[in-house]
Amino acid sequence: MNVETKPLKSKEELIEKLQNQDLITGSEILLRSLLLEGVDCVFGYPGGAVLFIYDAMHGFSDFNHLLTRHEQGAIHAADGYARSTGKVGVCIATSGPGATNLVTGIATAYMDSVPLVVITGNVATNFIGTDAFQEADITGITMPITKHSYLVRDVNDLPRIIHEAFHIASTGRKGPVLIDIPKDVSAQKAVFHPADTISIRGYNPTVQPNKLQVDKLIRAIEEAERPVILAGGGVVYSGASQELIDFVNMTQIPVTTTLLGLGGFPSGHELWMGLPGMHGTYTANNALQNADLIISIGSRFDDRVTMKLDGFAPKAKIIAHIDVDPAEIGKNIKTDIPCVGDIKAVLQYANTKAKPAKSAAWITEIQASMVKFPLKYKDSETELKPQYVIEMINETTHGEAIVTTDVGQHQMWVAQYYKFKNPRSLVTSGGLGTMGFGFPSAIGAQMGNPGKLVVSINGDGGIQMCAQELAICAINNIPVKIVIINNQVLGMVRQWQEIIYDNRYSHIDLAGSPDFVKLAEAYGVKGLRATNKEEARRVWQEALDTPGPVLIDFVVPKGENVFPMVKAGDTISEMLMGDSE
C-alpha cells in the first residue's frame, strides 16, 4: 500500500513530544488527543466546518488520514477497521450534509456493537439554532443510534471529551460515540493538558459476573442431555474465542454461530454445526428445536435466528444467556439463567469449574445429521454458480482471509460456504443490513491489517452504492480483492418475490448496470471477468497474484436461490431445502 498506518510511538514518547505550554488550537488538541488514544488511521472528508481541523493536519507527519470519496465510505471504512482489529475506528466529516451522510454508518455500527468515535464539525456556536448554512442538529438526529454524544462548547473540555469518548465506545457493550465540534471551538486556543483519568458518573459497565449465576449454569450443563451453544458477535468482540473453545471442549456442547459470530468458533471443530436461523443449516436449526438447554453467548436472539418466536426452542427446559448488556437478557426470549458480564470474564470463571454434559448420544446424532444433511447446491458445468465461487475463494485462501461482504444473497452464501477459522475475519452488516457496506469496510480492514489478504465480496447492487471508493484503492494501491457476484438482479428481493410473492417480480432488474471491468479500469484498478468455472479459477488466481487492488466480476445465473430458507412467520423447523428436498 502507498498509504500505510505508521507505527505509533509509546504514549510516554507522544506526551513528551506533543505536550507543551504553548497555546494551540482546538483542532491541534483534537489531533494530539487522537494520537494519544492510539489512533493510527482516520477516515474522512473535509468541508467548511472542519477546515481548521484539516488545516491542523497539514504537515503533521504523525497523523494519518485517508481521504475517501464519500462520507458513507469514510464511516464504513472506519467500521471495517474497528471490526477487523478490535480497535476504535475514527472518522471525520463536516457539518450539515457531511454529518447526515454518516447516519446510516452510525446506525450500522450501533446495531452491531462496533466501537467508533465519529467526529463532526458544526457551525460556530453563535450560529447554532439559526438555520445557518450547512447546520444540522447531528447530536439530536443520532441520539437513538449512539452510545453517547457530545456537543463541545469549550475548547478546554476537548481532551477530557475525547478520552471519555474512546472509553465509552470500547467498554461494556461497544458502540459509536459522536463528538460534534463547532467551528469556533476548533479555532479557539488553549494549553494542551492530556486527559489520563476517567470519571463518568452513572457509567460503570458490569465486567465480572455474578459467580452464583455461573455456578448455576455449570450445574445445568452437568444435567443436560441435549445442550446447544448459540454463539454470537459478543464472543468475537470480547476476544473470548479461545475461552469458548476451551469451554466447548470441557463441556462437550455442540455450537452454532450467528452471522456476526462466524469465526468466533472455528468452522473445522467437530462440534460446530454452522449457521442457525433463516438461512441456517438443517442440523443447527434442528438442534435448537430439540435442545433441552440453550446457552446464548453474546447473541441477542435476533429475529433472523429465532424466526417465529413462539415456536422457537419448544423443548428447551432451561435457557441461559451470557451478555455484557443486561438489557438484552430476557428482551426477546425468557431467560432462566442470566449471566451479566464480559464474555471473556464469564467463560474464564466458568472454565475453572466446567464439566461434561451428558451429551454423548446427542453429539452422535448431530454428527450423523451433518453428514446426512450437508449444505449443497445443484452444480453446473455450463454456468458459474455463486456457491462454487465462494467455495473456490475459501479453498484458495484456506479460510484465513479477512472477508467483508455487502448485504444480500452473496452475504448468505459467504456465511454458508466460507469456512472461517479465525475471529475478526468476517466483516459484515448484520443488524441493519446496510447495502454499500462491503467494499469500503474492506478498505478499512486492509488499512488495519496491512499484511493480510482482504477479500470484499459484493452483489452487483451493493457495489454500486459505494463504487466511488475504487479511486482511493487505485491512488493508494490498497490491495483489496473486490469480488462481484453479478446476477444482474436484486437477488434476495427476487428470491422473496419468487417464494413469498408468487413470482410477482417488481423493480429488481439491474441489467442497466455498468460494465464493472471497465468501471474498475476507469478508476485505475485492474478488472477481470469470469462466466464459467475454468475462467473463474484462472482470473481468481491472477487476482491473488496481483500485488495491488483487483476487481473480479463473476457472472452468475439470475435465478439461483439461497437454501435452506425459513420464510418470515414460520418456525426454524419449517425449512425450505431447495435442491436438497
Report residue 272 as a C-alpha cell.
460446530
Residue 114 to residue 445: CA distance in whole angstroms: 13
| Among 14, 7, 51, CA closest to 32 | 14
71: annotated active-site residue: yes
Q: Is 63 annotated in the active site?
A: no
Q: Which entry of 1, 11, 134, 308 is annotated as an active-site residue?
A: 134
Which triple of cell numbers denotes residue 114?
462496533
What angle is formed at CA 152 by the lines to CA 150 and CA 158, rounded to 5 degrees?
Answer: 100
Helix (H, G, I), strand (E, B) or coil at 377: coil
- Nearest of 463, 472, 466 to residue 517 by alpha carbon: 463
The answer to whether 228 and 252 are in contact (CB under 8 A) is no
Burial status of residue 270 (CB atoms within 10 A of its CB: 0-12, 13-18, 19 or more): exposed
State the sign of the Cα–Cα–Cα–Cα dihedral 348, 175, 298, 210: positive
**Given 492, 495, 533, 575, the catalytic residue:** 492
CA 541 – CA 474 distance, rounded (Å): 20
Q: 554: which strand partners? A: 485, 530
Beta-strand pair 227-231/293-297: parallel
Is 492 tagged catalytic?
yes
- Asked whether 169 and 108 are in contact (CB, 8 A), the reply is no
Please list the residues that pair with 295 across neighbouring strands. 229, 320
Give, rounded to a whole angstrom, the gap between the first and last alpha carbons of the chain.
48
Measure the CA–CA gap between 553 and 563, rounded to whole angstroms. 23
Phi, psi of 323 (to 5 degrees): -160, 145
**CB burial class (10 A; 0-12, 13-18, 19+) of residue 144?**
exposed
**Catalytic residue list contains 468:** no
Please tell me which residue in 28, 71, 391, 469 is annotated as part of the active site.
71
Residue whose grid cell is 482511493: 472
Burial class of residue 471 (count of CB atoms within 10 Å of its CB; 0-12, 13-18, 19+): middle
Three-state SS for 514-532 is CCHHHHHHHHCCEEEEECC
Of the residues 183, 419, 481, 533, only one is catalytic, namely 183
From 6, 16, 133, 189, the catalytic residue: 133
The grid coordinates listed for 130 are: 439559526
Phi first, then psi: what are they for 486, rounded to 5°?
Answer: -100, 100
The answer to whether 471 and 540 have CB atoms below 8 angstroms apart is no
Phi and psi, residue 382, nearest 5°? -105, -30
β-pairing, 426-427 vs 337-340, is: unpaired
Residues carrying an active site annotation: 71, 133-134, 183, 492
